[in-house]
Structure 1
Amino acid sequence: MDLLQAIIIAIIEGLTEYLPVSSTGHMIFTSSYFGIEKEEFVKLFQVSIQFGAILAVVVLYWKKFFDFSKWQFFIKLACAVIPALILGKLFDDKIEAVLEHPTPIAIVLIVGGIILLFIDNFFKNPTVHTEEDITIKKAVTIGFWQCLAMMPGTSRSAASIIGGMQQGLTRQAAAEFSFFLAVPTMLAVTCYSVFLKTYDKSGLKGFELILQSPENTKMFVVGNIVAFVVAVLAIKFFIEIIKKYGFKPWGWYRIIAGILLLAYFNFIK
C-alpha cells in the first residue's frame, strides 16, 4: 500500500463510518480493487484509522463527552458496549475469515439496503426524543443490536440506529446515540488491534507493524487525520439527510453498490 491508496481508504472510512452503508465493506472492496487486501498492515490500517473517526464524534459533541456531571450518560455507554466487547472477542477469528471473501459482504449490503427502504414504516411513533430519555435497559438492547454488525457489510451504524428506533427513539436520537456508542466500541476495537492483537504472518503486534517503517508510520498518521476531517463533514451531512428523507436514500445506495460489487468480483475481476 502506498500513501495515495492509504488516503483514499481513509477518505472512505471517514465518509462511511457513521453512515448506514458499512465502512468495513467499502474499505475491503477498495483494498481488493487495489490488490492489497492480503497485506497485514492494510488489515491493521483499516481498523486503526477508526481512531480518527472516533475523534470526530468527540469534537462535534464535546459538550456531551466532557460534561462529567451527567454520569448517567457514561454509564449507558459502558453498559451498551459490553455485548460487542464480549462477542467481538469470541468471534474475532471468524469475522476476519469473512473479510477475505467479498461476495457474502456484497450480499449483506443488498439485504441491509432492502431493510432500510422500509425501516421508516416499521417505527412510526417514536417516544424517545433525547439521549436523557434512554434507559439503561434500552441502551443495552441497542448494544445487542449493534452486534449484528459483526457480519461485515451489515454496518455498525445501521444496526445500532435500527436498534434505537426499535426501542422507540426518533431517527435523529437513534443516529446520535449510534454516534456516541461508536466511541467506546471503536476505541476498544482499535486498541485491541493496535496493542494486543498479534498478526499471524509477521508475528508482530499492531503497533510494531505501524513502527516497522517510516512509511507505515506516515500512512497511519495521515490516515487518521484524513478520516477525522472527512468524518466531521459526513456526520453533519448524515443528520440533515435523515431529517429530510429518512433512510431510503441509503437503502437504494446499498442495493446499487451491492449489485455492482457482486458483478465486479464475480464477473469482471
Structure 2
Amino acid sequence: MNDILTAIVLGIVEGVTEFLPVSSTGHLVLATELMGYDPQKWAVFNVAIQPGAILAIVVLYWRTFLAVLTGLMKREPNSIAFVRNLLIAFIPAAVLGFAFNDRIEALLESARVVAWALVAGGIGILVVERLARTRPVGGVAGVGAGQSLKIGLVQCIAMIPGVSRSGATIMGAMALGIDRRTAAEFSFFLALPTLTGATVLQLAKHHDQIGGDMIGLIGIGFVVSFLVALAVVKGFIALVTRHGFAPFAWYRIVAGGAALAFLYRI
C-alpha cells in the first residue's frame, strides 16, 4: 500500500473512531499491526491528524462555542460553569500525561494491550448501561465541579491504548448520573483541550520526524479525518439517544476478540 493510500485509510480510521467509545488510538495501533504499516514512521502522523477531528467538533458546535464566548464576556453563570467544568476535567489528564508520557508511548507499541482493552471496555460499557441511573442535568454547564473532576480522573484510564477516551468519559459521566446526551457532549468538548494538549506535546517531542513528504501526508490525513468526523458525530448523538451505547460495546468485544485471535494466531 502506498503512502497516500495509507494516509487516507488512517485518516478514515481517526475520523470514524475519535469520538465513538471504541478507541481511535487503539484502532490506529491495530491498523498498524494488522495491515503491516511501519509503526515508527506513522506514530507521529497518527497524533498529528487528531486536530482534524477536533476541528469537526468546532464546526458542528460553533453556535455553542459562540454562545459561551459571548456569555463569558457578559459574565453569565452558565458560560462560566461550562468553561470551569471543562478546565477541571482537563487538569488530571494534563498532569498525568506530562508526567508519564514515555510510559504511555511504550504502551502504544502493544497491539495485544489494545485488543484486551477493547474487550474489557466493551464489558464495562454494558455494565454501566445496565446499572447507571441517569437524569437530565441541563447540558455541560449543569454538571457539578466535583462531577467534572471525577470525569477527568476517569478520562486518565484512557491513557491505556484501547480503553477509549470518549468511552471512559461518557461512561464515567453516566455512572455519576448524567444523561447520555450531556455525557456525550461533555466528552466531545473535553476532547478539545485534551487532544490539543496531547498533540502539541507529541509534535514538540518528535518534531524532527516531521518533514518532506510527511507534511503532505499529514495534510491529507487531517482533511480526511475532519470530513469523516463531521459525518460520524452527527449520527452518533441520534444513535445513542435512541439505542444507547450497547451497539458499541458489542462491537468492541467482537473487534477485540478478533484481534486477539489474529495476534495469538488461535
TM-score of the superposed pair, with normalisation by structure 1: 0.91
> 1:130-156 CA deviation, whole Å, 9 max, x = no partner?
222112222111111111101111000
| Alignment root-mean-square deviation, CA | 1.4
Corresponding residue to 1:227 among 221, 225, 228:
225
- Which residue of the partner structure matches residue 137 of structure 2? 128
Deviations 1:40-93 (A, max 9, x none): x41101111110011011111111222311233222211210100001112211
What corresponds to 2:190 in structure 1? 181
CA distance in 2, matches of 1:71, 1:144: 21
What are the Cα deviations for residues 233-264 of structure 1, in whole angstroms up to 9, with x where unaligned? 11111111111111110111000000110111
Partner of 1:25: 26
Q: Of residues 178, 192, 200 in structure 2, which corresponds to 1:191?
A: 200
The CA distance in 2 between the partners of 1:59 and 1:172, in whole Å, is: 18
SS in 2 for 1:66: helix
Q: Deviation per CA, 1:184-232, whole angstroms, max 9, x where unpaired? A: 10000111111x21xxxxxxx32x432x21x211111111111011011
The CA distance in 1 between the partners of 2:221 and 2:175, in whole Å, is 35
Mapped pair 1:7 → 2:1:
no
Q: 2: distance between equivalents of 1:232 and 1:130? A: 21
Q: Taking structure 1 as reference, are residues 37 and 153 closer, same or farther at Cα in structure 2, changes over 3 Å only?
A: farther
Distance 2:148 2:38 in 1: 35
Contact kept? 1:24, 1:152, Cα under 8 Å: yes
Equivalent position SS for 2:265: helix
User: CA deviation digits over 1:106-125, x for unaligned, max 9?
Assistant: 01100111121232221124
AA aligned opposite 2:230: V
Counterpart in the other structure of 1:38: 39
1:145-224 equivalences in 2 (<5 Å): 145-194=154-203, 196-197=204-205, 205-206=206-207, 208-210=208-210, 212-213=211-212, 215-224=213-222
Q: Report the counterpart of residue 89 of structure 1 in structure 2.
A: 98
Aligned equivalents of 2:171, 2:263: Cα separation in 1: 29
- Report the counterpart of residue 202 of structure 1 in structure 2: none
Q: Does 1:56 align with 2:64?
A: no
1:14–1:226: 8 Å Cα contact kept in structure 2? yes
Distance 1:163 1:38 in 2: 31
Say which of 76, 80, 91 aligns to 2:89. 80
Letter in 1 for 2:228: V
Name the % identity: 41
The number of aligned residues is 256
CA–CA distance in 2 between the matches of 1:158 and 1:87?
A: 19
**Which 5+ residue runs of structure 1 have no aligned equivalent?**
198-204
| 2:74 aligned partner | none
What is the one-letter code of the residue matched to 2:146?
K
Over 3 Å counting, the alpha-carbon distance change for 1:117 and 1:166 in structure 2 is closer
